[in-house]
C-alpha cells in the first residue's frame, strides 16, 4: 500500500510546508508552487475578439477558458469568461496578453491585480491613535443605542445600560466597539439627525473616558460621522456604502478607516423580493465602484474595509452563498468585515427568535473567518472572542 490521498491544502504556505516535508529543495519549491494552486477567475463582458485571443493564449500553456457558445463564430458581441489555470499558466497568459491588440492589455492588468489582491495578507487597520495588524481576526462589538434594532432594540437605549454594556464588551475582549443610533433593520424608518446624535453623543462621550477600545460610529450621515469622530471615535461604518458624496468628502477629511457595505435599496424596502443576476458578481461590482469613488474623493485606499452586507437586501440563500464564497471578495484587495450575528436567516433556518440565535451566529461567523473575513461584527462578544481564537488557530492569518 502506498497510502495515496488527495491533499486538501488551502494556502501556498501549506503547500510549501508539505513540499519541505518530503525534502524538495528551496528552488524546487518556488518553481512548483506556481504549478500547485489552480485558480478560477471570472472576467465579465469581454468582447468576442478578446475572448478568442484569451482562450487560445490560455490553452497554450495548458490552462483553459470557458466562454459563451457563440464566441467562436462571433454570433455574440461579448462573453463572460471563466479562466482555469495555475499561477505559472497565468504568468504566461499575462505576458502574452500585454502584447495583444484591442482591450487585451486592460484585461491583463485587471487579472494581474486580482491575483495580487487575492494573496494579500499584510493588512493593517490604521486608526488615528493606534495601528492593529490584521494577522488575526478582529472582533467588533455591537452597541445599538436604539429602541427598535432587530436584535437588541431598546435593551441599551438608556444611557447607563449602554455605557455598562460598552464597558462589558471591552472587558470581554472586543477590539472595536461599533455604536449606532439609527436602526437599519428591514422595514425600519429613518430618524432625524438630531435624534441620532442625541442617542449616540452621551454614550460615546462617556465610553471614551472609561475604555481604551477604539470606537466606531455606525451611521449613514456625514454630519453624525464628523461630530462623533471629532469627539474621539476612530472609524466610520457606513451601511449605505458611501452613496452620499458628502460622506466621502467627510471621511476623506477625517482621515479614518471606513467600512463600505453593500445594501440593495434602503432599509425600508431592501427585503421586498431582493433579486440579483449574480449575487457575488453584483456585490463585488458595487463595492469596486464605491471603492473607486471613495479613492477619487480623497479617501486613502489603505483605510477602506468592505462588507458584503449580510441580511441587507438578501434572501436566506443569498446570505449562505455569500458566506460560502466570501473568499471571492479577497479579489478586491481590502480587509473584509462581515456581520452574521443574530441575523434573521439564522432564525429562519433554525426556527428560533433573536434570543436563541447564538449557536447559529457562531457557526456562520467561524465559517466566514475560514473563508476570508478579517473583522467580525457581533453581539455576543465573550463567546465570539473564544470562537475566533480557535478559528484563527485552525487557519492562521500568517498563511
Q: Which residues contact 239 (CB under 8 A, 6 or more apart)?
A: 184, 218, 220, 261, 263, 309, 312
Residue 158 falls within a domain, yes or no? Answer: yes
Q: List Cα–Cα distances, 207 to 131, 160, 166, 267, in angstroms.
A: 20, 11, 7, 28
Beta strands in the chain (DSSP E): 39-47, 64-66, 78-85, 124-126, 131-133, 138-144, 176-180, 215-218, 235-238, 258-261, 304-307, 337-338, 375-378
Domain tally, the chain? 3
Q: Tell me: do 47 and 29 sit in the same domain.
A: no
Q: What is the arrangement of strands in the sheet containing 78-85, beginning at the earlier edge strand?
A: 39-47, 78-85, 64-66
Residue ranges in 212-278 assigned as alpha helix (H): 222-231, 245-254
Q: Tell me: do 178 and 305 sit in the same domain.
A: yes
Which of 84, 118, 152 marks a domain boundary? 118
Q: What is the pLDDT of residues 225-278, one digit of tens each?
A: 999 999 999 999 999 999 999 999 999 999 999 999 999 877 766 677 888 999
Helix (H, G, I), strand (E, B) or coil at 12: helix
Cell of 268: 425600508
Which domain covers residue 59, as residue numbers?
39-118
Q: For residue 158, which phi and psi values (nearest 5 degrees)?
A: -75, 145
Distance CA 361, CA 139 (A): 13
Q: Tell me: do 103 and 187 sit in the same domain.
A: no
Residue 3 falls within a domain, yes or no? Answer: no
CA quadruple 251, 254, 259, 265: dihedral sign: negative
Which of 94, 118, 142 marks a domain boundary? 118
Q: Tell me: do 101 and 157 sit in the same domain.
A: no
Residue 2 falls within a domain, yes or no? Answer: no
Residue whose grid cell is 472576467? 43
Q: Tell me: do 21 and 95 sit in the same domain.
A: no
Q: How many Cα atoms within 13 Å fall on the side-chain side of residue 103?
A: 14
pLDDT computed for residue 313 by the predictor? 93
Residue 122 DSSP one-character state: -
Distance CA 294, CA 296 (A): 5
Q: Tell me: do 33 and 44 sit in the same domain.
A: no
Residue 243 falls within a domain, yes or no? Answer: yes
Helix (H, G, I), strand (E, B) or coil at 235: strand
Burial category of 317 from C-beta neighbours within 10 Å (exposed 0-12, middle 13-18, buried 19 and up)? exposed
Q: Tell me: do 190 and 66 sit in the same domain.
A: no
The answer to whether 58 and 91 are in contact (CB under 8 A) is: no
Q: What is the pLDDT of residues 153-192, one digit of tens each?
A: 455 668 999 999 999 999 999 999 999 999 877 776 789 9
pLDDT computed for residue 185 by the predictor? 73
Q: Which residues contact 365 (CB under 8 A, 6 or more apart)?
A: 338, 340, 341, 373, 376, 378, 384, 387, 388
Residue 213 falls within a domain, yes or no? Answer: yes
Q: Tell me: do 352 and 370 sit in the same domain.
A: yes
Distance CA 259, CA 240 (A): 10
Which of 118, 152, 174 marks a domain boundary? 118
Residue 167 falls within a domain, yes or no? Answer: yes
pLDDT computed for residue 399 by the predictor? 45
Q: Which residues contact 1 (CB under 8 A, 6 or more apart)?
A: none
Residues identified as active-site? 343, 377
Cell of 74: 462571433
Q: Tell me: do 206 and 352 sit in the same domain.
A: yes
Distance CA 280, CA 244 (A): 23
Residue 80 falls within a domain, yes or no? Answer: yes
pLDDT computed for residue 152 by the predictor? 52
Q: Tell me: do 87 and 199 sit in the same domain.
A: no
Residue 268 sits in a domain whose CATH number is 3.20.20.20
- For the chain, residues with pLDDT lower than 50 are 149-150, 153, 399
Q: Tell me: do 90 and 201 sit in the same domain.
A: no
Q: Tell me: do 238 and 215 sit in the same domain.
A: yes
Model pTM greater than 0.85? yes
Amino acid at each position: 500500500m502506498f497510502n495515496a490521498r488527495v491533499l486538501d491544502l488551502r494556502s501556498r504556505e501549506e503547500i510549501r510546508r508539505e513540499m519541505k516535508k518530503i525534502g524538495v529543495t528551496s528552488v524546487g519549491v518556488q518553481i512548483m508552487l506556481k504549478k500547485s494552486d489552480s485558480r478560477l477567475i471570472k472576467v465579465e463582458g469581454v468582447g468576442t475578439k478578446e475572448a478568442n485571443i484569451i482562450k487560445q493564449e490560455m490553452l497554450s500553456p495548458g490552462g483553459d477558458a470557458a466562454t459563451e457558445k457563440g464566441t467562436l463564430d462571433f454570433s455574440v458581441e461579448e462573453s463572460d469568461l471563466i479562466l482555469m489555470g495555475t499561477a505559472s499558466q497565468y504568468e504566461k497568459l499575462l505576458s502574452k496578453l500585454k502584447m495583444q491588440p484591442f482591450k487585451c492589455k486592460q484585461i491583463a492588468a485587471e487579472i494581474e491585480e486580482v491575483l495580487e489582491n487575492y494573496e494579500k495578507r499584510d493588512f493593517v487597520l490604521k486608526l488615528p491613535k493606534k495601528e492593529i495588524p490584521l494577522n488575526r481576526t478582529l472582533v467588533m462589538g455591537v452597541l445599538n443605542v436604539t429602541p427598535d434594532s432587530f436584535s437588541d432594540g431598546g435593551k441599551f437605549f438608556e444611557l447607563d445600560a449602554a455605557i455598562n454594556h460598552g464597558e462589558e464588551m471591552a472587558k470581554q475582549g472586543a477590539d472595536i466597539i461599533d455604536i449606532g443610533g439609527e436602526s437599519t433593520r428591514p422595514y425600519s424608518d429613518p430618524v432625524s439627525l438630531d435624534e441620532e446624535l442625541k442617542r449616540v453623543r452621551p454614550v460615546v462621550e462617556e465610553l471614551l473616558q472609561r475604555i481604551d477600545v477604539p470606537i466606531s460610529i455606525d451611521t449613514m450621515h456625514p454630519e453624525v460621522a464628523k461630530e462623533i469622530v471629532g469627539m474621539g471615535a476612530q472609524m466610520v461604518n457606513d451601511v449605505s456604502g458611501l452613496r452620499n458624496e458628502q460622506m466621502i468628502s467627510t471621511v476623506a477629511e477625517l482621515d479614518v478607516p471606513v467600512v463600505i457595505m453593500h445594501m440593495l435599496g434602503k432599509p425600508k424596502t431592501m427585503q421586498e423580493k431582493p433579486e440579483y443576476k449574480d449575487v457575488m458578481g453584483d456585490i463585488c461590482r458595487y463595492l469596486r465602484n464605491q471603492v473607486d469613488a471613495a479613492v477619487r474623493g480623497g479617501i486613502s485606499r489603505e483605510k477602506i474595509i468592505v462588507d458584503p452586507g449580510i441580511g441587507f437586501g438578501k434572501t436566506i440563500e443569498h446570505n449562505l452563498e455569500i458566506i460560502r464564497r466570501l473568499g471571492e471578495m479577497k479579489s478586491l484587495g481590502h480587509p473584509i468585515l462581515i456581520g452574521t450575528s443574530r441575523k434573521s436567516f439564522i432564525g429562519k433556518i433554525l426556527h428560533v427568535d433573536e434570543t436563541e440565535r447564538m449557536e447559529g451566529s457562531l457557526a456562520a461567523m467561524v465559517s466566514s473567518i475560514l473563508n476570508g473575513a478579517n473583522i467580525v461584527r457581533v453581539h455576543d462578544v465573550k463567546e465570539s472572542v473564544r470562537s475566533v481564537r480557535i478559528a484563527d488557530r485552525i487557519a492562521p492569518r500568517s498563511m
